Structures are given as C-alpha cells and as structure tokens.
Structure 1
Amino acid sequence: MHRFKDLEIWKKSRLFCSTIYEITPSFPESEKFGLTNQLRRAAVSIPSNIAEGSSRLSNKDFSRFLQITLGSAYEIETQLLIAFDLKLINDGELNTLLKELNAIVKMTSKFKSTLKV
C-alpha cells in the first residue's frame, strides 16, 4: 500500500481539481449539467482514483487505477479544448490548464512505470 497523501501526483491533481472548480462558475448556466459537470467529475476522478488505488494490496490493482486516472486526464483535455472552442475559456487559461494537466499525466505515467506488477 502507498500513502496517497504523500504522493506528489495526488497533491498536484488535488490542486488542479480546485482550479477546475474555480474556472467553471464562469461557464453559462446552460452548461451547468453539461460541460461544467463533466469537467468537475473528471477532475475529481483524478485524485480520487489515485487515493483509491493506493489502498489496493497489489501494484497491479494500483496500476489499473492509475490507468483510469490517465483516462480522466485525457477526458479533461478534450473538454478543455471544447470549452476553448466554445469561447468559455481563453487561450491563456487553456494553455495554463493544459500545462498543469500535462505535468500530472507525465508524473502519473512515470509513477505507473515504476510499479512492479
């Protein structure tokens, strides 16, 4: 078992989740149950899956949860690009968010590759 609260990917993804929650209130009310909800759910999924996976007794199980984490990250990337296309976020916001997200993806992939399964 791993102590998820000690993992940098968990800390970074938790902060990223807060950032998503900070930007989505500016989205139109019509997106409350659409893009806003999807972005928030996927963002919450990243640190949640890291935490849940860390409780598993085998690295193989933890690795599977990290793969789900990566899937959520790519889902967020797509949703952010759509938000940009719809002019819900600007170029600067998009670039900042994608940079943060890319760092999480790289850290998660690297960590996943170190697990002996």
Structure 2
Amino acid sequence: MDTIATPRPHERLDVWQDAMQLVEVVYRATSSFPADERFGLVAQMRRAAISVPSNIAEGAARRSTSEYLRHLSFARGSLAELSTQSEIARRLGFCEGTVADSALLDRTYARLNALIRSHERRVREPDAFSESPIPDPQSHA
C-alpha cells in the first residue's frame, strides 16, 4: 500500500524551502568556479549554504523555543557568511553578479528574521501563546 508521507514540521516552513532552493543555486553556480577553488571558496560556500536549511530543520526538531532560536541564529549566521562569500566570488571574477540570487537571498533573510522575531515574542510573552512553539516535535521521531 502506497502512503503519502506527511511533511516534517520544518519542511512546511517557507524559509526552509527557500533555503533548500538556495543550496541548489549555490551548487550549480560554484560548479563552474576555477578548479583550484574546489577546496577553498567552493567548499566554504557549499558548506554555508547547506548549513542554513540544516539548522532550521534541527532547530524545529528541538523541544524548547530557546534551542529553536539558537539554531535559527546559526542559520542566519550561515546566510550572512554565504552572502559575503558570494560577493567575494563576484569581486574575484568567478561569476557574473552574485552566486546566490540576491532576491532569493533577501527573501530567505526576511523570512528567517520574521520567524526569529515571532519566536522571540513567544519567549517575551509566554501567556500570549498557549500552544507549543514547535509544532508536534514527536510526529517524526
């Protein structure tokens, strides 16, 4: 019998979906970088890109809002790192424009910041939210 898998909580987040798309964009763009950058800028950019959706997912699986926020903060740091590395690649002439589509990067930043703000409010105003900050963390245990 075929069953349709229910998306995990992080997979339903628009910011996670954007971050996954960003990984694809970075991998495609860095594949044409000079061979001598394979273990340098290419590896760093790919690692930073992968870190964004990975930290969002890990945070969503945590049982407390403070842990979730910590991982969202890591994701935001990796996004800033990727943005900087993209600019470095542009300045070095490895690509035209930035590696990471600036509209996608901006949208990911905006959605990540909005998610962080919403969970920070939960910490400041715990009575305003009666349900768990993390939707059904046991659903895919």
Normalised to the residue count of structure 2, the TM-score between the two structures is 0.77
**Change in CA separation of 1:41 and 1:95 when aligned onto 2, cut-off 3 Å:** closer
Equivalent residue for 1:99? 103
Q: Percent identity?
A: 33
Equivalent residue for 2:22? 16
Equivalent residue for 1:111? 115
What code does the residue aligned with 1:44 have? I
Aligned-pair RMSD on alpha carbons?
1.4
Offset at residue 10 of structure 1 (A): 0.5
Offset at residue 96 of structure 1 (A): 6.3
Q: Does 1:4 align with 2:14?
A: no
**Segments ≥4 residues shifted beyond 4 Å:** none
Q: How many Å separate the matches in 2 of 1:52 and 1:83?
A: 29
**Change in CA separation of 1:74 and 1:14 when aligned onto 2, cut-off 3 Å:** same
Q: How many Å separate the matches in 2 of 1:96 and 1:8?
A: 18
Q: How many Å separate the matches in 2 of 1:99 and 1:76?
A: 14
What code does the residue aligned with 2:47 have? R
Q: What are the residue-to-residue correspondences of 1:1-117 with 2, within 5 Å?
A: 3-91=9-97, 94=98, 97-115=101-119, 116-117=122-123
Decide which structure has greater helix share. Answer: 1
Gaps of 5+ in 1: none
Normalised to the residue count of structure 1, the TM-score between the two structures is 0.93
